[in-house]
Structure 1
């Protein structure tokens, strides 16, 4: 069945992405894209720190290529690394940064980490952001803390396709802390946002311009008539002067 082939291919892609995420830590991994080419499988890794993925003299990327060949039986995997332009608008990178900050500073400064990260996302131009941290912070009982700002869609097609979501876990001494990040990027097209074009103002401006042109034409006509009258009145005076001279 052809459907089973598609399902098996998607499962394989998901397993490869999970393997890459587990192999590459603290590199700002965003997402992984696989493309089939005549030469083999092309794997594009989007990350904020491409230098750490490559390693010294390309050692890390060579090891990753060999592991992919051996574990997933890929014939000729070609790994390409692309740098993420705006890391503050990528939910996966933001979640990874929160995880690193919590593991480094502990659960005591989770509020400062949440507010600072939220402000950085909004300063990058996001329409809205939501960060949920769940776990035994700061007390021994598990709680959920929510940091949010701006406008964020919760339901509908925009919530599924237009909102960038990610989740990860931070391992602390008190236990595992869950982190969920949702970001609405600035280029999200909302269906309820309508822009009206003011056609009346354009018509009024055109009418005003035409009226001004008519006024200038009338002034020119009046000035021409005055000049003609003056020239007619001056001609007989010249004839009288000629008679007197004769």
Structure 2
């Protein structure tokens, strides 16, 4: 069945993405994409620190390609690494940064870590951020701490476009879960209303009129050029046609002359024959 083939293919892609994410921990791994090419499978890895993934003289990539070939039966995997433009707008990288900082500094400075990450993310242009840290922090009793700043949608179509990620930090007290949600700056909300002044409206009107005039001028110029081309083509056709007729007429006149000469020759021959017969 075709459906089963699609399911098995997507399951294999998910397993490859999970394997790459687990093997590339704490190196700024964001996400992985898989593409099919005529040469084989192309795996695109997005990360904040590509140098750590590549390794010295490409040793890490070679090991990763070997393991992918053996474990997932890939024919010719080609790994490509791209750098993430803005690190603080990627929820996966931010969650990994929080987890690594908690493992490094411990649970005593978790509030400072959360507030610093929030200021960095909002300074990068994000509309809002939410960080949930759950575990035995700071005492032996499990608790959830929430860090929130800006505006964040929780429902609707715009909530599906929010970048979210999960990460885990292994501490002495136990495992700590980290959940990060970031609202990107390019997200358009349905209730965004902008009030414009009269000056702005006038500027927009003048700009629109200028654009329309330019477009009309371009259209008129194109029409004139097309009409000129059509007239030139018609003139060329008119000039070419009589030449053909003249040639045809000349050929016809030549044929008629030949025919008339043949007829005269025939009449001369017939007259000669009659004269010879009469003499005999």
User: Scaled by the length of structure 2, what TM-score is found?
Assistant: 0.70
Deviation at 1:72, TM superposition (A): 0.2
Deviation at 1:199, TM superposition (A): 7.2
Which structure 1 segments of 5+ residues have no match? 207-246
Give the equivalent residue in structure 1 for 2:109.
109
Please give the alpha-carbon distance, in whole angstroms, between the structure 1 residues aligned to 2:25 and 2:151.
31
Q: Which has the larger radius of gyration?
A: 2
Structure 1 SS opposite 2:109: helix
Query: CA RMSD, aligned part only?
Result: 1.7
Please give the alpha-carbon distance, in whole angstroms, between the structure 1 residues aligned to 2:195 and 2:110.
44
Structure 2 matches for 1:149-228, cutoff 5 A?
149-160=149-160, 162-195=161-194, 202=202
Deviation at 1:54, TM superposition (A): 0.6
Please give the alpha-carbon distance, in whole angstroms, between the structure 2 residues aligned to 1:194 and 1:105.
44
The reply on whether 1:4 has 2:20 as its aligned counterpart is: no
Please give the alpha-carbon distance, in whole angstroms, between the structure 2 residues aligned to 1:53 and 1:16.
16
Structure 2 matches for 1:40-189, cutoff 5 A?
40-160=40-160, 162-189=161-188
Deviation at 1:132, TM superposition (A): 0.4
After superposition, what is the alpha-carbon deviation per residue over 1:144-176, rounded to whole angstroms, capped at 9, x for unaligned?
00001000000111111x200000110100000
Question: Which fold has the larger relative contact order, with Cα–Cα distance below 8 Å and residues 6 or more apart in sequence?
Answer: 1
Structure 2 SS opposite 1:107: coil
Please give the alpha-carbon distance, in whole angstroms, between the structure 1 residues aligned to 2:90 and 2:198.
40
Deviation at 1:116, TM superposition (A): 0.4
Deviation at 1:41, TM superposition (A): 0.4
Deviation at 1:32, TM superposition (A): 0.1
Please give the alpha-carbon distance, in whole angstroms, between the structure 2 residues aligned to 1:156 and 1:5.
33
Please give the alpha-carbon distance, in whole angstroms, between the structure 2 residues aligned to 1:37 and 1:174.
47
Please give the alpha-carbon distance, in whole angstroms, between the structure 2 residues aligned to 1:84 and 1:39.
26
Please give the alpha-carbon distance, in whole angstroms, between the structure 1 residues aligned to 2:60 and 2:202.
62
Compare the two structures and name the one with the higher helix fraction: 2
